[in-house]
């Protein structure tokens, strides 16, 4: 288990609890399914305001070898990438605020994408623009396709 100072752990848990409480009114009749993005983003904003280093991460929540689900959570690099998950309850009987969460349930670090925060720049952001976003070559149009047919002429070709 990660060695997190008790005062810092309580501070982080209070921020997460408050963010989850704000969304629990909205998601009163559901199990938080689909709220991992908004709740994690809100927690991330609050952590930034509190000056706590963290990274927003997207990857997979793994229940078994056959079942994995796209998910978003927060990691703390200064505490050996300890995971904070405020919506794990959508996957079963897990704590409402899971910190530090059991890393066995989260995808391999090589398959995670660090969305980033203002403290850490995600490595994938350095490689932009994506090849599909680069300027494409101009398309050449054949000369005969540029002309419009004259009105009343059945063919687009001119008669001599």
pLDDT value, residue 143? 54
Residue 87 Cα distances to 30, 39, 139, angstroms: 11, 8, 48
Distance of CA 95 to the CA centre of its chain: 21
What is the C-alpha separation between 73 and 139, in angstroms, rounded?
44
Strand, helix or coil for residue 3? coil
CB atoms under 10 Å from CB of 15, counted, come to 22
Enter the pTM of the model.
Answer: 0.68
pLDDT value, residue 22? 78
Torsion angle of C-alpha atoms 41, 45, 50, 51, degrees rounded to 10: 90
The domain ranges of the chain are: 6-120
**120 has pLDDT over 50:** no
The model's pLDDT over 27-83, given as tens digits with 9 standing for 90+, comes to 566 666 777 888 898 899 899 989 999 999 999 999 888 888 889 999 999 999 999
The model's pLDDT over 99-117, given as tens digits with 9 standing for 90+, comes to 999 989 998 888 888 886 6
First and final C-alpha spacing in the chain: 87
**12 has pLDDT over 90:** yes
The model's pLDDT over 122-132, given as tens digits with 9 standing for 90+, comes to 444 444 455 55
């Amino acid at each position: 288990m990660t060695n997190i100072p008790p005062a810092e752990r309580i501070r982080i848990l209070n921020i997460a609890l408050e963010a989850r409480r704000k969304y629990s009114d909205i998601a009163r009749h559901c199990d938080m399914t689909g709220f991992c993005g908004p709740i994690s983003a809100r927690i991330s904003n609050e952590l930034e305001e509190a000056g706590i280093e963290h990274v927003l991460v997207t990857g997979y929540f793994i229940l078994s070898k056959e079942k994995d689900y796209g998910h978003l959570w927060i990691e703390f690099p200064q505490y050996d990438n300890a995971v904070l998950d405020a919506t794990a309850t959508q996957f079963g009987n897990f704590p409402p605020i899971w910190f530090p969460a059991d890393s066995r349930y989260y995808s391999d670090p090589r398959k995670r994408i660090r969305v980033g925060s203002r403290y850490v720049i995600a490595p994938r952001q350095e490689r932009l623009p994506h090849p599909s976003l680069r300027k494409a070559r101009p398309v050449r149009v054949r000369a005969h396709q540029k002309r419009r047919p004259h009105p009343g002429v059945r063919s687009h070709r001119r008669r001599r």
